[in-house]
Amino acid sequence: MSDTRDSDVRALPMPDLRGTFPGPFATSPYADAIEEQTANWLRTFPLTGSPGSAKVLCNITAQGVARVLPTADRDSLFLCADLFLWLTAFDDVHGESEGGRDPARLVRRISRCVRLLAGDDESASDDDAYTAALRDLLHRLRERATPTQYLRLTAHLRDNLFGILWEAHHLDRPDRISLSDYCAMRPHTVFVRTVMATAEVALGYELTESQRASAAVRELEKAVADLAGWINDLASYAKEAGRGGPTPVSLPVLLIRDRECGLEEAFRLASRMCEDQASTARIHITRLAADSKNALADHAHAMEAVAASYVWHIGHARYA
């Protein structure tokens, strides 16, 4: 990776992904329009309290979505950006900031969201900004997705909400989390499975159930999901550790405990784990993309863009 990314985590070892996801990454020509749209959407649904944090959030969301979906149309890009802005803001405000202090309140917030995801369209008269925004997103998603895509996407959103709750529950006691449990939950807290499901909607393809169940697709998606969570852990460690307070729940922290090593060695181990998953992803992308007219090829290219967006976004100022 570049020197900029290395400096973001204070020169701790970082994965070398130049051979697997080297960049520069394809980017939608609508990136600036996405950023303007998300800023407008936040004015309708004020999800963050600080104008400065809203600006940073709009920028990283817009630029990330522009790399996840470089060939998508404007409306798909706007919808996907608003969706991931909502998820990130919900996690920042209700998960990380207040979830550990008041888990019961977080449970109540999530329960309202789950009711909407399940189709229980309760009265909008007492919606807060997050519930109203989710209602808007679900209406727009139903208009674009097939019934199966919509069910899959809302299932992933429920996983995300549970992941936020799970992480908030463990914020003060990361020692209670096993490494295997963490690796299983991390894709849900970094939202990458939802990104994958959204890509199918936005790019207009849909895998059959037999294609989705194939070993190649499952292994590709797992490799990309693991890579997304782990490189995010490495990039965000310095910022999270610098806040003071509880030790961040992240891969390096768990490796320090399980391998009985120091921080630098934990970063080195985690970097090798990232490199291994990036290599696995690249092998499957190359194989599945060989038939350029098959939905599997579309999916391979989409997973490549998902991985590229996570590799790109760890160098963003949000993680400085």
Residue 5: predicted pLDDT: 35
Instruction: State the pLDDT at residue 248.
Output: 75
Gap between the Cα atoms of 97 and 237, Å rounded: 16
pLDDT at 149: 97
Positions in the chain whose pLDDT score sits under 70: 1-10, 122-126, 241-246, 292, 315-320
Rounded Cα–Cα distance for residues 66 and 121 (Å): 31
- CB-based contacts of 221, cutoff 8 Å, min separation 6: 193, 196, 303
- 24 upstream amide cis, omega within 30 of 0: yes
pLDDT of residue 173: 79
Question: So what's the pLDDT on residue 4?
Answer: 31
Annotate the chain with three-state secondary structure: CCHHHHHHCCCCCCCCCCCCCCCCCCCCCCHHHHHHHHHHHHHHCCCCCCHHHHHHHHHHHHHHHHHHCCCCCHHHHHHHHHHHHHHHHHHHHHHHHCCCCCHHHHHHHHHHHHHHHCCCCCCHHHCCHHHHHHHHHHHHHHHHCCHHHHHHHHHHHHHHHHHHHHHHHHCCCHHHCCHHHHHHHHHHHCCHHHHHHHHHHHHCCCCCHHHHHCHHHHHHHHHHHHHHHHHHHHHHHHHHHCCCCCCCCCHHHHHHHHHCCCHHHHHHHHHHHHHHHHHHHHHHHHHHCCCCCCHHHHHHHHHHHHHHHHHHHCCCHHHC
Q: What is the Cα–Cα distance from 273 to 47, expressed in whole angstroms?
A: 35
The predicted pLDDT at position 293 comes to 72
Residue 9 pLDDT: 44
Question: In the prediction, which pLDDT does 10 show?
Answer: 54
pLDDT at 1: 34
Q: What is the pLDDT of residues 260-285, one digit of tens each?
A: 999 999 999 999 999 999 999 999 99
Burial 5-38 (b: 16+ CB within 10 A, else e): beebbeebbbbebeebbeeebebbebbebbbebb
At 301 the pLDDT is 96
